[in-house]
């Protein structure tokens, strides 16, 4: 099996498993409600796809770590995994905030955070996740890759995943670019998940059923939907600048404390 196909398979599996993990984490631990996590509409988190690829490559290099003690070698391996995943998280978050003017996650309230993008607590979680991957997932990944190499017809489904992924990515990129245009005009950084939630509420208020996940295929043309989304975004931010004290954007665009409209 080609190395490219191997990485493509790992990315697809990691993206979907990561989405499931984040979905239940937000439902039962962090936000206590069902939230569609991430940038895309569908069940896919690319950062976890990249993470699984990195974890697989690092785990495959374990024997090259020049430490004789197997226990110490594994500890070093998990630390390396944590550092790499933290770097990926920081780079992805930095690009999102400074280029798209959109914040996908916010650790500003966590101790030791850097720009609200990474923090020691979540780096520790990455270490735990790395150990979890090594002991419980990596052996199954190796068997799955062996099976895939003997059943290359299954690669059709990997291709199908990427077809949907590209369409979803293009769709959400247009949405984010519309938000970016407005955010740059107002010199703010916006919370993407808050925007998604408020757009859903906005659509429901007009008797348009939003559903659990953003609909990828709209009854109306995409251009019309993006225009409506852009206008909705302006309404949302306008409400907040009028005095609603909620954390929809941060940084230089933090909500100014002022008199609320009554």
Contacts of 235 (CB under 8 A, 6+ apart): 202
First to last CA, the chain: 65
**pLDDT of 143 strictly over 70:** yes
Sheet bearing 189-191, strands edge to edge: 102-103, 189-191, 249-250
Nearest by Cα to 13 from 60, 46, 35: 46
Give the strand pairing for 189-191 and 249-250: antiparallel
* CA–CA–CA angle 105, 108, 109 (5° rounding): 115
Model pLDDT for residues 145-176, shown as the tens digit of each residue: 888 888 877 788 888 899 999 998 988 888 78
> SS3 letters for the chain?
CCHHHHHHHHHHHHHHHHHHHHHHHHHHHHCCCCCCCCCCCCCCCHHHHHHHHHHHHHHHCHHHCCCCCHHHHHHHHHHHHHHHHHHHHHHHHHHHHHCCCEECCCCCCCCCCECCCECHHHHHHHHHHHHHHHHHHHHHHHHHHHHHHHCHHHHHHHHHHHHHHHHHHHHHHHHHHHHHHHHHHHCCEEEHHHHHHHHHHHHHHCCCCCCCCCCCCCCCCHHHHHHHHHHHHHHHHHHHHCCCCCCCEEHHHCCCCCCCCC
Note the pLDDT of residue 222. 43
What per-residue confidence (pLDDT) applies to 238? 52
Within 8 A by CB and 6+ apart from 27, the residues are 33, 34, 35
- pLDDT for res 11: 95
The pLDDT tens digits of the residues spanning 206-259 come to 434 434 344 444 444 444 554 555 565 555 545 544 443 344 444 434 434 444
List Cβ neighbours of 245 (8 Å cut-off, separation of 6 or more): 255, 257
The pLDDT assigned to 216 comes to 41
φ, ψ (nearest 5 deg) of residue 155: -60, -15
pLDDT above 80 (res 49): yes
Query: Does residue 66 have a pLDDT over 90?
Result: no
Average pLDDT over the chain, rounded to an integer: 78
155-186 and 192-205 are packed helices; what angle lies between their axes, rounded to 10 degrees? 90
Q: What is the pLDDT of residue 125?
A: 94
Contact 254, 108 (CB under 8 A): no
Lowest mean pLDDT among 117-121, 128-132, 170-174, 180-184: 180-184
Residue 174, number of CB atoms within 10 A of its CB: 14
CB atoms within 10 A of CB 29: 8
Burial of 10 (0-12, 13-18, 19+ CB in 10 A): buried
């Amino acid at each position: 099996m080609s190395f490219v196909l191997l990485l493509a398979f790992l990315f697809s599996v990691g993206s979907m498993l990561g989405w499931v993990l984040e979905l239940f984490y937000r439902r039962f631990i962090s936000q206590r409600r069902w939230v569609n996590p991430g940038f895309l509409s569908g069940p896919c988190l690319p950062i976890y796809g990249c993470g699984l690829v990195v974890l697989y490559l690092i785990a495959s290099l374990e024997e090259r770590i020049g430490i004789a003690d197997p226990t110490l070698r594994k500890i070093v391996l998990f630390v390396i995994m944590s550092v790499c995943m933290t770097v990926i998280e920081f780079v992805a978050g930095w690009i999102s905030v400074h280029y798209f003017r959109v914040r996908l996650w916010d650790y500003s309230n966590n101790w030791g955070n850097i720009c609200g993008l990474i923090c020691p607590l979540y780096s520790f979680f990455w270490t735990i996740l790395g150990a979890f991957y090594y002991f419980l997932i990596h052996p199954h990944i190796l068997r799955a890759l062996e099976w895939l190499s003997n059943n290359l017809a299954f690669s059709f489904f990997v291709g199908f995943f990427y077809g949907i992924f590209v369409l979803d990515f293009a769709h959400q990129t247009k949405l984010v670019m519309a938000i970016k245009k407005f955010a740059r005009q107002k010199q703010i950084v916006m919370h993407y998940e808050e925007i998604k939630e408020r757009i859903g509420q906005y659509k429901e208020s007009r008797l348009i059923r939003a559903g659990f996940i953003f609909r990828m295929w709209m009854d109306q043309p995409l251009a019309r939907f993006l225009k409506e989304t852009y206008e909705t975004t302006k309404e949302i931010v306008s409400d907040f600048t009028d005095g609603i004290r909620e954390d929809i954007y941060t940084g230089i665009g933090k909500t100014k404390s002022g008199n609320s409209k009554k």
